[in-house]
Structure 1
Amino acid sequence: MSTTRTASLALAIATASAGVQSAPPAASAPTPAPIPTHTLDSGAVQATVTEAIGGRLLSFALAGQPNFLKVDLAAGDPAARVDADAPNVGWMGHEIWAGPQKQWWTHQDVNPARAAAHAPWPPDPYLSLARYTLAHADAASIAFTGPASPVNGLQLDKRFSLVPGKPNSLQLDVGAVNRRERQVAWDLWFNTRAHGDTRVYVPVASRADVRQQAVEPKPDWVPLTWTLADGLFSIDMPAPEADRRHRNGKMLLQPSSGWMAGFHAGQVLLIQFALQPRAAIHPDQGQVELYNDYPADDLGKGLLEMEVHAPYRQLAPGARMAAAETWTLLPYDGPDTRAAHVAFLRAHARALGLGGIGAGR
């Protein structure tokens, strides 16, 4: 069923499940506006979404289990003014960006300073922070429509739906319309935030399909290391007692099949999407991207982003593009090892339609 509520209860649930503890606000601090939330519940999984803060997906979990997503509902004020000068706010959860990142601020005149700097950050605030309009809500689906962005010209619509006959699954559909009077060119970029020690597997056929971005320039951080075997790519995550170095970086991948899977705290999140040829993806991006911040001394502060790019497209005025992901949550009670995870994926490959396992070299 679908329910609607403000964030007081949702905040307690989502914040506790994400391992975030917020200190009480100072006596003089204003009380942030409540975040409206809507819940889809199949009996097997629950998903919570909001039309506030960019029409965001806040939580996804098996019934009775903690939120698989990393979220911080105390990150800011959801009623704060949104304009072209707005900074990023780390609400986390799942949101939609437009790619490529290097062009975020280069096709606009509402923030000339960011345009001149070719700023790669923050994301478009009209996509990720603005309040969307609730367009539809019933027991099976919830839909939002966003404002037209003066930064990139796009207007997004989002629909979150339970999947008939698949009680463990959720469908995410996103559309974008060019609201400018001239052509624009972008992709749709799904960004799913998970806990930093989430172990993710992506089907990749060859080392030539793996690119690695440089570590952020901090003297005490080291680049990510990774493994490609059995047709599956994964980021190495040494146990803190074995390696206490702070690892950070981003991987850009061309998958061999349209899925990836993340293991964390007894749940497996499977994200499935339409596989694209490399030529369809902007060369600055990968169809799948994994950003990992892994501070071994404080894993609660870590972050793993599971990202998917749809094709880079030119849109005439009024033209529309769309993309989708299907999420499935499964229980997992095996060891937290690569061998056990790969065995689990192999055992479920046929039933779930997971191609690419066993094609690595």
Structure 2
Amino acid sequence: MNRDKQIKFSMLMILAFAFLGCAEVNSVVKEFTQSHRNVIVIQRDGLEIGIWPEAGGRAVTFKREGSPNILDNTVLSTEYQLPMPEADTPWQNLKGHIVWVGPQSDFWSQQNVNPRANVRKAIWPPDPFSELGRYIVIDQDSAFVELRGPVSPVTGLQLTKRYELLSGQKARLTVTAKNMRNQPVSWGLWSNTRVHTDAIAYVHLDSLNAVRYEQNSKSVEFDQAAHAFRIEGDEIFTIPSYERDRDNKGLATKAQISMRDAVIHAVIGAWIFTKQRITPTNAIHPQHSDIEIYVDNHMESPILELEMHGDYQLIDPRESIQWSEEWQLTER
């Protein structure tokens, strides 16, 4: 199927799903207020991205003039108080766009500040210093900002994040992770973008055999994931939250997709969000895949994550690894 036909087919399927749903996607995407938050906003040619330095340097807004905020960030509309990161700080459901390091099975395996998490081989939560680290701005103009975070005692890494608005109404996000320990560490960068759960995310597949499924962290067949995903032709779609069976409220389901060109699309109201990997990869950790789409109905605040992975690498002392991706927002 050529590219034009793929896009046409995708749009037909998305319109059909929206018609079947009990609500329009447009009606459930809400704006939030941010006047009480220290959010840095950069703008170019009607495109803007907002970054929250105090919450792990995460992106919290991505929008064009006339569009809603594409990123899910309900926490910003409340008087929520951010805790300081500690080795035992509970996970905070802040949403937005964040970068973790993987694999998940090693979240707590290369540290001694929380020995209990290491002993029980904990796979949750992610590093609190990545999630809640206070970032400082090291360079900025109207169309880009570069921030540096603290050194994490959990991972040994110090992350630098650069958000840049490009010509053609694109955004490029680049993360550099430097090993600040005196011994090597092994990690892969893990990009995690949370969008509204009533979005319809989809991926053009290289092969149906390239998809595997997990439910509550266990491998399952497609039949057990069918409440969260649909396969139509050579594409996989998420089922928006307003269409999902209420009997599946306790399930967290993930599709892991191996593919040469990692691109995810998400339709949110009248807009199409595109996330594309820029960094070449050839050594992603076997627990993960190029693309992962995670649908969580279990929490009071559900989650739809559009994830991508970089290579799993040995990082020598004072050496770095890097990840880049591009975002685009187009009107359909």
With the shorter chain as reference, the TM-score category is 0.7 to 0.9
Q: Which amino acid letter does the alignment assign opposite residue 200 of structure 2?
A: R
* Equivalent of residue 235 in structure 2, options 225, 232, 235: 232
Q: State the 1:244 CA deviation.
A: 4.0
Give yes or no for the alignment of 1:98 onto 2:90.
Answer: no
Alignment of 1:56-135 (within 5 A): 56-71=58-73, 72-73=75-76, 74=78, 76-78=80-82, 80-135=83-138
Indicate the percent of aligned positions where both proteins have the same amino acid: 29
Q: Tell me, in whole angstroms, the C-alpha distance in 2 between the residues paired with 1:292 and 1:114.
A: 25
- Normalising by structure 2, we get a TM-score of 0.81
Matched with 1:324 is 324
Q: State the 1:216 CA deviation.
A: 6.9
CA contact (8 A) 1:276 1:287 kept: no
CA contact (8 A) 1:172 1:326 kept: yes
CA contact (8 A) 1:192 1:305 kept: yes
CA contact (8 A) 1:193 1:304 kept: yes
Q: State the 1:19 CA deviation.
A: 4.1
Matched with 1:157 is 160
* Equivalent of residue 249 in structure 1, options 230, 253, 260: 253
Alignment of 1:172-183 (within 5 A): 172-183=173-184
Displaced runs of 4 or more, over 6 A: none
CA contact (8 A) 1:255 1:275 kept: no
Q: 1:275 to 1:324 in 2, by over 3 A?
A: closer
Give yes or no for the alignment of 1:267 onto 2:268.
Answer: no
Matched with 1:213 is 214
Q: State the 1:255 CA deviation.
A: 2.1
Q: Can you give the 5+ residue segments of structure 1 that lack an aligned partner in the other structure?
A: 1-15, 23-32, 333-361
Q: 1:314 to 1:289 in 2, by over 3 A?
A: same
Q: Which amino acid letter does the alignment assign opposite residue 53 of structure 1?
A: A
Give yes or no for the alignment of 1:304 onto 2:304.
Answer: yes
- Normalising by structure 1, we get a TM-score of 0.75
Q: State the 1:301 CA deviation.
A: 3.9
SS across alignment from 1:115 = helix
Q: State the 1:199 CA deviation.
A: 1.0
CA contact (8 A) 1:76 1:89 kept: no
Aligned residues: 295
CA contact (8 A) 1:88 1:125 kept: yes
Q: Tell me, in whole angstroms, the C-alpha distance in 1 between the residues paired with 2:179 and 2:88.
A: 22
Q: State the 1:120 CA deviation.
A: 0.9
Q: Can you give the 5+ residue segments of structure 2 that lack an aligned partner in the other structure?
A: 1-26
Deviations 1:74-118 (CA, angstroms, capped at 9, x unpaired):
38423x222111111111100110010110001110001111111
Q: 1:123 to 1:215 in 2, by over 3 A?
A: closer
Matched with 1:202 is 203
Q: Tell me, in whole angstroms, the C-alpha distance in 2 between the residues paired with 1:239 and 1:76.
A: 27
